[in-house]
């Protein structure tokens, strides 16, 4: 039987993935895995360094979760000290843990048809080893903002080993799947792999969808993030304070981060409501009851929170960084220069006065057609089919 005549078995190597230590780390990769499992059998491996207290004297802890066509294996091991030398040892330790688990997995379940690497560093070393040892091709989905110049980190200033392995991973991948065209161009500058296709992040449209909303007594702006410095939450607060003087019937909801920390950091004033990190269904409710989403980051790839907002029909004002310009246009929001608070204030004012021009149901419909589980899962499965038809000999 030809490999393409059956459901494809994909082994996912995930440098980032939610675990007990970091439950939101790489949650967008987990959603990619869930979407792909609609069409392929997905087996996830994520190796997570952790503390001695968590390990309780054990060398390795393995946590396995099974769902329909999706198995998630989280391997915990004790993290070395955070020094340059120990970081190098930690990478090797991770590789050896991976290698042992992969061999065991292959013995128990047989070899997969394809390997799907998610974020090239660290686990790309394992993908290279599997390709060399077992002749199994791999594709790479890349998310990391590290490669963006605008993020303040420069790839060319990293170590020779890091640059060598990054190029090797990009060269050996059968397909590169950046989450934005912008990131794809950056990766192409590092190594021009001709097999590259943008595959968007994915949204659970059962949670994030359009709901007809009641007219708010106040015009509601919304921002959702972890309050990382690159998100520039303080500048959003500054812009809103100016808007609130001119438009008292406005409010700004900030969801995520530590509430007390933000109160102390930004000196929260009238009209601003803070809440700590919320589950996805509650975030969706905030989106469905707001009038405009704000993002003012210095660096991004393709933020899931923007895709989720669009799927709820929420128009957006965002800084034009990374791949954001590929998803926001005059039909669903406005793009502004990163760091330009005056322009942010101007666009917020325009949004208050012209919000009716943004057809929220249509915004939601358009976004759902691009970012749903069915669409993205199908896109990834099509890439698998293409790789395997080229890589594996066809049987008569």
Tens-digit pLDDT profile for residues 274-316: 998 899 999 999 999 999 999 999 999 999 999 999 999 999 9
The pLDDT score that the predictor gives to residue 122 is 87
- Average pLDDT of the segment spanning 210-216: 82
Is 56 within the bounds of a domain?
yes
Residues 238 and 294 occupy one common structural domain:
yes
Residues 270 and 230 in one domain: yes
What is the overall mean pLDDT for the chain?
A: 91
Global confidence as pTM: 0.91
Kindly state whether residue 127 falls inside one of the protein's structural domains.
yes
Looking at the structure, tell me whether residues 49 and 198 fall in a common domain. Answer: yes
pLDDT (0 to 100) of residue 90: 63
> Does residue 214 lie within any of the structural domains?
no
Same domain, 68 and 198: yes
| Bigger pLDDT: 11 vs 145 | 11
Residue range of the domain that includes 7? 3-202+373-391
**pLDDT on residue 345:** 98
Residues 195 and 313 in one domain: no
Averaged pLDDT, 57-65:
86
Specify whether 47 is located in the same domain as 161.
Answer: yes
Distance CA 95, CA 122 (A): 8
Residue 213 forms part of a structural domain = no
Number of domains in the chain: 2
Angle at 185 between CA 180 and CA 189, to 5 degrees: 145
Buried/exposed code over 314-339 (b: 16+ C-beta within 10 A; e: otherwise): bbbbbbebbbbeebbeeebbbbbebe
Same domain, 364 and 377: no
Exposure string (b/e) for 171-191, b if CB count within 10 Å is 16 or more?
Answer: ebbbbbbbbbbbbbebbeebe
Whether 362 shows a pLDDT value over 70: the answer reads: yes
């Amino acid at each position: 039987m030809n490999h393409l005549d059956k459901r494809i078995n994909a082994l996912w190597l995930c440098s980032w993935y939610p675990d007990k230590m970091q439950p939101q780390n790489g949650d967008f990769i987990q959603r990619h895995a869930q979407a792909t499992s609609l069409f392929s059998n997905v087996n996830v491996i994520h190796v997570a360094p952790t503390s001695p207290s968590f390990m309780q004297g054990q060398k390795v802890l393995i946590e396995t979760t099974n769902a329909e066509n999706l198995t998630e294996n989280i391997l915990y091991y004790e993290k070395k000290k955070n020094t340059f030398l120990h970081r190098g040892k930690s990478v090797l330790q991770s590789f050896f843990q991976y290698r042992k688990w992969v061999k065991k997995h292959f013995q128990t379940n047989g070899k997969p048809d394809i390997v799907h690497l998610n974020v090239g560093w660290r686990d790309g070393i394992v993908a290279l080893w599997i390709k060399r040892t077992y002749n199994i091709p791999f594709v790479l989905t890349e998310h990391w903002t590290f490669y963006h110049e605008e993020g303040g980190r420069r790839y060319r200033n990293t170590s020779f080993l890091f640059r060598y392995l990054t190029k090797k991973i990009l060269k050996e991948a059968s397909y590169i799947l950046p989450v934005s065209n912008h990131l794809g161009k950056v990766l192409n500058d590092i190594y021009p792999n001709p097999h590259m296709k943008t595959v968007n992040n994915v949204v659970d449209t059962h949670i994030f969808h359009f709901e007809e909303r009641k007219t708010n007594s106040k015009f509601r702006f919304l921002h959702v993030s972890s309050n990382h410095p690159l998100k520039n939450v303080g500048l959003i607060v500054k812009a809103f304070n100016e808007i609130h003087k001119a438009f008292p019937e406005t409010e700004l909801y900030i969801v995520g981060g530590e509430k007390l920390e933000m109160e102390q950091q930004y000196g929260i004033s009238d009209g601003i409501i803070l809440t700590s990190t919320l589950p996805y269904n509650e975030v969706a409710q905030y989106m469905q009851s707001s009038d405009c989403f704000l993002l003012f980051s210095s660096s991004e790839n393709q933020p899931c929170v923007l895709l989720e907002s669009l799927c709820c029909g929420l128009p957006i004002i965002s800084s034009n960084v990374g791949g954001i310009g590929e998803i926001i246009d005059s039909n669903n929001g406005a793009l502004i220069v990163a760091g330009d608070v005056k322009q942010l204030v101007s666009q917020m004012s325009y949004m208050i006065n012209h919000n009716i021009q943004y057809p929220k149901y249509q915004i939601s419909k358009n976004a759902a057609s691009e970012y749903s589980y069915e669409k993205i899962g199908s896109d990834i499965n099509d890439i698998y089919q293409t790789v395997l038809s080229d890589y594996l000999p066809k049987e008569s």
